[in-house]
Amino acid sequence: METGTPPLLSHVLIAEYGPQQPVPSVKFQYPNANLGQTHSDAGPLMVPIPGVLLRNEDAYSFILNPKPVQSGSTILTETVVPKLKRYSSDVQIALYADAFGFDGRAWKPLSSSRTVIQCSKTKVSIWDEPCLRTFAELTEAANSEYRQPEKNCVVLYIDRLILGLRFFNESDEVTFVNHLNANFGLHQKYSPSRQIPPPMPRDPLAPLSPLYAINYVRKAGDKTRALALVSPYPWIHAFLPLVKSALDTFMRGEKIAVITSLFQTINQIDITTLPRFTIPEKIVMRSIYDPADTFYEYARAQVEIGKKRGGKNVGVIGDDWDGTTFVVNTRFNDIAYRVPVPLNVYPEEIGEFSITRLVITFSALDSINPPDIPELKWRNAAPYFWHPHLDSGWSTHPIVFLMNAVISEKRVVFVGNGRSVADIASFVHAAAAAGTGGGNVLAGALGRCFTNVGIKDFKGLQAVPGFIAGTTDPSIEDRPELYDVLCDINTGKITLSQRIAPASTEGLNNRNDPTEGVADMEWMRQGYWVGDSEFMLRVVEAIQNETSEFQIRQMVYDYVQRIVDVTAAFEVEIANTTLIGRPSVPQVYPGIESGVFFHDETAQNAELVMLRNRIEGWKGTQSYFKYLQSHNENLQKTYLPSTFPLSSMIDQIYKAQPVTPTPVLVQILQYIQDTILPGPDAAQTELLAALRSRGIQLFAAGMMHERWEVRRACTRVLWRLDWHPIGTNFIQNLNPFYRLCYARTSHLLLSQEDEPNIDPPPSSAPLDATAPIPPPRSSKRTTKSNSTRMSMLLLDEKNASRTNFNNVKQGYRASILGKVPGSVADLAPGSPRVPGGGLRPSGSLQKVPGWIQDDNGSIRSGRSGRGSKAGPIQTSKNNTDMSDLDKMYKNVERLGFQSQQAGRGTGGGGYQPSSRQIAHSYASSDDEDADDMERGRAAGGGLGRGPSGENLGQGGRGGMSPRGPASLGQQPMSPQQPRSTSAGPPGRVPRGASAGGPPQGVVQLQQVQQPQQLGRSPRNISAQQGPQTGQRGPR
């Protein structure tokens, strides 16, 4: 292995069990260094008894746990919770690490405590934790390099100074390295002859980091042997084929050379070229349907950077890349292997578990065994049926019940009589991830996971609070004192122990509680909390639509984050303060709240009442105090300001009922514009991560809003995303109507004055007073700020003629309809560079914005060169993307557009054009452009709400039936707007259509009603539950 390459393996272990070895124990270990005091008992984990005796072979992942948190240990208090520090305005992020200095012979710590790394655009400063003394500074003028010799470690060479930084997690290391590459170009500075110092020391008082193991056990005759690879990387299970080959060879000859050869083969794999993504980038990868197209160029760029830094070409990102793995080529025992290394796993996701399988197994109506006294009980003014920390009534979904057990650190056991250890381990790891957000929300679940435990070993686990264990011994059911929640994976039954510890007798402090006195209401006796039912309904529908496992995981993790955010709101209501919330939004945006979004005060009080018992259960756990300790630090690790509640603002737009008020919408979008535009690329990645699977439809629909502030803010955000290496693919994936609107608004709005020459409204004017549209430019006067923005947005001359723009627009429309115009030279000189095709300063003007012409004359989408397959675009109705156009209109309605041409052929109310009408409008002549755009902006109508909480527009699906199985049922038509009986082809309406209803073939949807038994329906995965109208299934 070359110097400076982090090793993949720490140890290779072989365990044995047989007549001469009655207790499983480790027989061989390479290298011979001691595993550590807490890792000495790996034998029973590698050869589990009696599970291994039921089959000839088994393979599973497990954790070599660090020092467990003992019961009765010191509980963190508010006095040790780090406060939110205030740094100078130029500091973008602040990270924490242990810092060392190398004097030529050995490493010496720079401080007795942690160090703070303040990263700005021009320098990186390393301070002591109180920020009173600076140890080193890295600037653009310094002669600097870096190396990554170990996991979570970075060695900095600043002139003659050598510094070592040991980060506490992989995400901080990747964020720091990306900052060095983006702002200082250190990825281009590499000296192969530079020597790497010895490994950095570790704090002897710090807990050991968890080690991940992939184990393969095989029985031959009367002996059973197991081989395990131990690694600091959670994706080590990808090397299982090599483990099987090595154990098979070892059992034939029992030569230790096989073990050494396996260790050296894997550690010789150079992971310098392995693409590594930050947490926001992984969230984006999980949330989109086709990560291969979106991250193709970005992943290839990381591979090329690794090659320039001396990395070996162990794998490539080819045209067949799946977007989630990096295939590593290696050779062992004269056999070539292609090892798919996953790229989007979270810190505490181990093995190939499946939350989808967990939901399917425990989703029956009668999964949870009823208690001895089957009646509704009350605690803290909230109902419960089994336990106040676990449920909200008898109709609580079993998965929600199980998630609450993990969050409140109850003792959870999975039993599978006759099942393989691999099956049991999958359920253990899935439950741990579902209750903690995969380590991305709540950390520390891996130290509580035990994949296979014998009945005699459960007594030793009682010292670990909230353990999650698996066993094949069915006699555990007769020992209720050893568990709190027992899950049988064979029957799908969940049993609550009769000896579970009751909730504390004191309860929560109800003084000054605004929800006091609302208990025992009729809606609270329905046996479930509607928020749980809506969440499980979305999950079940996604599973029925064959959504990917990673998207299912992200939906579950987001719900865990919701519970944490509601806890912060509860603390504010009870104690008027919280330590796990966000700072207040600046006063210049008075309509934006920094906390979690609620529909109204009634919904807020209802949710706080129904979840208060779960909040009580979580606040008494070690997980809560760990979150307290890390929350403020995590706020400073993001490029977005801590006063920027992005997720809350997006929920306020999508979930407001009926629609977000226009003044608040203007403030939200202007706040996003003011924060995103000057931010680095990492800030735009965090924006895309917060949008999740919704994509950028919010900003695309906002380009047609009636307020010019909203149109300009959305266009500017899209333009900034078009510069982003990942965001530009989101722009290219918009449907043609959005891209045409993007090209138009970019010219018509951004070519005007950035600060309109209009007088502000008087202070007495109402907040929602419509501001006048800014006038077009009439003078050549430009300010320095305006000139900078114009150069950034790549606008040409401010008085560009309308004729030149029409040439570009006509070429764009021709590209949509398959009519490719002439060469770029056919455009008039000085044509404006419309976004989507020629945004780069060094690039030439594309003939067709958003489309690229191949040598053979065909058109394909995307600037990067990979996206839609090359081929001519047809104009047939069968090839028209009707679903995307209908989806666009639904997003238009979500923002609450109002008709500006009331009574124009629609009787004053306006009708909802169908997808066929919009496709027809593409073929209209240039003199009809304004009319077509006005029709899109006039698409208003009533708004409804689906069970998921998001706004659904009337008629957003046009004349098409909703997606999903036919047995799911469709929404009823509005009785006020029956089908038209006029003659003519469906979906085609004359311009002078009379009032009195929608055209033939266009169905107006009623407001979606809340199901009366919403809490009971998701518990059975049946054909009666399907996707909501307007939701897209997997591609």
Considering the domain architecture, whether residues 959 and 1035 belong to the same structural domain is answered as: yes
* Confidence bin at 1015 (pLDDT 50/70/90): very low
Query: Do 164 and 56 belong together in one domain?
Result: no
Distance in angstroms (rounded) separating the CA atoms of residues 883 and 888? 9
In this structure, are 111 and 241 located in the same domain? Answer: no
The mean-pLDDT minimum among 22-36, 506-520, 693-707, 727-741 falls in 506-520
259 and 30 Cβ atoms separated by less than 8 Å: yes
- Residue 826 within a domain: no
Find tokens 């003084």 and name the residue.
Answer: 511
Q: Which of 188, 220, 235 is the last residue of a domain?
A: 188
Q: How far apart are CA 488 and CA 642, in angstroms?
A: 44
Say if residue 184 is in the same domain as residue 214. no
- The angle, 0 to 180 degrees and rounded to 10, between the axes of the packed helices 736-750 and 929-937 is 100
The tens digit of pLDDT for each residue in 52-95 reads 677 889 999 998 865 544 433 334 434 456 667 777 788 999 99
Q: Do 105 and 12 reside in the same domain of the chain?
A: no
Q: Please give the Cα distance from 521 to 523 (Å, whole number).
A: 6
Q: Which two tokens stand for residue 853?
A: 């012409």
CATH number at residue 494: 3.40.50
pLDDT score recorded for residue 487:
97
Distance CA 252, CA 248 (A): 7
pLDDT average, residue stretch 161-171: 93
Domain CATH for 166: 2.30.29.30
Q: What mean pLDDT do residues 114-138 have?
A: 91
411 vs 402: CA distance, rounded Å: 11
Q: What is the mean pLDDT of the chain?
A: 74
Is 496 domain-assigned? yes
Q: Are residues 388 and 473 in the same domain?
A: yes
pLDDT band for position 890 (cuts 50, 70, 90): low
Count the residues in the chain: 1035
pLDDT at position 1035: 36
Q: At residue 917, does pLDDT exceed 90?
A: no
Share of the chain above pLDDT 70, in %: 67
* Residues near 431 by beta carbon (within 8 Å), at least 6 away in sequence: 358, 402, 406, 412, 414, 468, 487
Does residue 578 lie in a domain region? no
According to the per-residue pLDDT averaged within each range, which of 31-45, 265-279, 920-934 is highest? Answer: 265-279
**Per-residue model confidence as pLDDT tens digits over 567-625:** 999 999 988 889 999 998 988 898 898 889 998 888 899 999 999 999 999 998 999 99
| pLDDT at 502 (0 to 100) | 86
- Write down the pLDDT at residue 310: 86
Picking from 272, 285, 271, 275, the residue whose alpha carbon sits closest to that of residue 239 is: 271
The reply to whether 49 and 104 lie within a common domain is: no
Q: Are residues 133 and 103 in the same domain?
A: yes
Residue 381 exposure: Cα atoms within 13 Å on the Cβ side: 18
Does residue 117 form part of some domain? yes
Once rounded to an integer, what is the mean pLDDT over residues 1006-1017? 36
pLDDT at position 430: 96
Alpha-helical runs (H) found in 334-397: 355-361
Instruction: Examine residue 138 and state whether it is found in any structural domain, yes or no.
Output: yes
Q: What is the CATH number of the domain that holds 249?
A: 3.30.450.200
Least confident range of 165-174, 368-377, 548-557: 368-377
Host domain of residue 177: 88-188
pLDDT band per the 50, 70, 90 thresholds, residue 818: very low
- Give residue 506's pLDDT: 56
More confident residue, 699 or 800: 699
* Proportion of the chain in helix, strand, coil states, percent, rounded to 5: 35, 15, 50
The pLDDT of residue 800 is above 80? no
Banded pLDDT at 886 (limits 50, 70, 90): low
Residue 985's pLDDT is: 35
At residue 887 the predicted structure's pLDDT band, cuts being 50, 70 and 90, is low
* Separation of alpha carbons 724 and 750, rounded Å: 19
556 and 442 co-located in one domain = yes
Averaged over 900-924, what is the pLDDT? Answer: 34
Q: Residue 203 above 60 pLDDT?
A: yes
Residue 49 lies in a domain: yes
Pseudo-torsion of CA 368, 373, 377, 383, nearest 10°?
20
Considering the domain architecture, whether residues 457 and 498 belong to the same structural domain is answered as yes
Say what the pLDDT of residue 217 is.
Answer: 93
pLDDT of residue 142: 86
Residue 1001 in this model has a pLDDT that exceeds 50: no
DSSP per residue, 925-967:
-GGGHHHHHHHHHT----EEE-TTS-EEETTTTTTSPPSS-GG
- For 722-732, give one letter per residue: b (16+ CB within 10 A) or e: bbbebbbbbbb
CA distance 4 to 560: 39
Same domain, 423 and 559: yes
Q: At what angle do helices 530-544 and 601-619 cross, to 10 degrees?
A: 80
Instruction: Indicate if the pLDDT at residue 127 is higher than 50.
Output: yes
The tally of domains found in the chain comes to: 4
Q: What span, in angstroms and rounded, lies between the C-alpha atoms of 963 and 972?
A: 15
Is 1010 a domain residue? yes
Same domain (yes/no): 223, 182: no
Q: How confident is the model at residue 243 (pLDDT cuts 50, 70, 90)?
A: very high
Q: Confirm if 516 and 381 have CB atoms less than 8 A apart.
A: yes
> Do the Cβ atoms of 736 and 743 come closer than 8 Å?
no
User: Which residues are within 8 A (CB) of 204 and not within 5 positions of it... i.e. 6 or more apart?
Assistant: none
Encoded tokens for 80 = 């040790």
Average pLDDT over residues 838-853: 33
Q: What is the pLDDT of residue 69?
A: 41
In the structure, what pLDDT confidence band is assigned to residue 511 with cuts at 50, 70 and 90?
A: very low
**Alpha-carbon distance 825 to 578, whole Å?**
62
In which residue are the tokens 């098409």 written? 960
Looking at residue 899, its pLDDT comes to 35
* Predicted pLDDT at 964: 35
**Do the Cβ atoms of 449 and 349 come closer than 8 Å?**
no
pLDDT at 335: 92
Could you give the C-alpha distances from 1016 to 542, 838, 1021, in angstroms and in order? 18, 53, 11
Q: Which of 268, 285, 315 is the last residue of a domain?
A: 268
Residue spans of alpha helices (H) in 507-581: 530-544, 549-575
- Taking residues 672-700, report their average pLDDT: 93
**Of 27-36, 657-666, 765-774, 953-962, which one has max mean pLDDT?**
657-666
- Residue 216 — pLDDT band, cuts 50, 70, 90? very high
Strand ranges across the sheet with 468-471: 449-450, 468-471, 412-415, 485-488, 493-496
Query: What pLDDT, on the 0 to 100 scale, is given for residue 750?
Result: 62
* In the predicted structure, residue 843 carries a pLDDT above the cut 90: no
pLDDT in tens, 328-362: 999 999 999 999 999 999 989 998 999 999 999 99
Q: To which H or E segment does residue 23 belong?
A: strand 21-30
Q: Is residue 595 part of a domain?
A: no
Q: Which residue has the tokens 């999650």?
A: 468
Show which of 188, 221, 237 is a domain's final residue. Answer: 188
